[in-house]
Amino acid sequence: MKEMYPKRGRVILHVDMNSFYASVEMAYDPTLKGKPLAIAGNVEERRGIIVTCSYEARKFGVKTTMPLWEAKKLCPKLLVMKPNFDRYRAASVGMFEILRQYSKLVEPVSIDEGYVDITDSYEFGTPLEIAESIQKRILEQLDLPCSIGVAPNKFLAKMASDMKKPMGITVLRKRDVPKVLWPLDVVEMHGVGKKTAEKLRGIGIKTIQDLAESNEIQVKALIGINGLRLKERANGMDRRLVDPDAVSDFKSVGNSTTLPRDVYNQQELIRVLEQLAIKVSARLKGKRVLATTVSVTIRYKDRKTVTRSKKLQNPISTKEEIHLVATQLFKDHWNGNAVRLLGITGTDLVEQDQAVKQLDLFSFEKDAKKEPLLDALSKLKEKYGSNIIENANKRVNQSFNIGTDTSFNKDFLQSKKDGL
């Protein structure tokens, strides 16, 4: 079987769950199968949008991010459910457990997709047989459909998995790029959003082939160093490895909320900031990091948005500290008009174990009282190892390998990592 694998290079799968939230609900309640189903956030409020929907709903034109009222207009018989994130996390954990039975090199990307490097997994069969086996097991054990891309690198695997949905398996080799990818509109390329596509069209780059054959200097001048990466990808090149530890590679932690109505009252807005600070604090502690910069985002009823940040002398993670900084930023930069959305983000993150606190006149006395305890902990760690005493939150969450936040990012993916 080993001869079926390349002597040089990698074999990478991209496993992408199909209509994940809706599919999980159908697996949980089979009576929903075959019906137009949508999962929507804040169903009762104006900000209700479609998070995902079944393929039956998509036939009517219902799409992700579409306002709920518009979706119901297109599909009057649309069934609408609120998200059940605990249920989705459990299904996600089950899916990644199956993937890890084929390879140790599994990199979660989000709650419903991940990369698997199967270069050394020839004992399980050919690459295509492994893909078929994974797809079959996920369907039989979890009652969930998925599409899989098989390719020599992550970019091509991702592009391949999008080509046949639902329940598709697509092999995309580098030699297939000119025929399969180049004719596509550049906006269909993974990594190119609508705004980037508009910029590229401004210099005559309309297709993936145009990008592949573009002038490097011109593309870099237009969209920076990322332009060179995109040009490489358009030519089928991607040197990124599948990294199981990439799930913990994050740069910021934030939460935002769209208010159910436009709010003018300052005290009410500050209370919203308090709730956001609690969420951000919980996520920072769950990741065992502290923020050295805090940002506040304010969106007004006319949709004008401002974001202001403050660099801190000492890293913070408690809800009280975050709320204090965020409130001051808000007061300094709020223009008094009605607010539609508020957000708090912690950036420039440092790990708890590596954070060095710069004691000042106000914190010295409080920290000094903790010195005997810290000294005792230090001696225990020195004698028995750094893991002898762990944060209780980390210990509990590692037992379950799932998170509790509802963000659409890697917070879902803390299998064998720090949970929330």
Residues belonging to the binding site for Mg(2+) are 16, 112
Beta-carbon contacts of 362 under 8 Å, excluding residues fewer than 6 positions away, are none
Distance of alpha carbon 22 from alpha carbon 50, whole angstroms: 11
- Which of 25, 107, 113, 321 is labelled catalytic? 113
Residue 384 tokens read as 């028995």
Tell me the HSE value of 304 on the side-chain side, using a 13 A CA sphere.
5
Answer yes or no: 97 catalytic. no
Residues belonging to the binding site are 16, 112
Question: 50: burial class by Cβ within 10 Å (0-12, 13-18, 19+)?
Answer: buried
User: Is 196 in a helix, a strand, or coil?
Assistant: helix
> What is the amino acid identity at position 257?
T
Q: Provide the pairing of β-strand 37-41 with 79-81.
A: parallel
Q: Residue 408 phi/psi, 5° resolution?
A: -90, 30
Distance of alpha carbon 173 from alpha carbon 154, whole angstroms: 12
Beta-carbon contacts of 356 under 8 Å, excluding residues fewer than 6 positions away, are none
8 Å CB contact between 56 and 177? no
Q: Which residues are designated catalytic?
A: 113
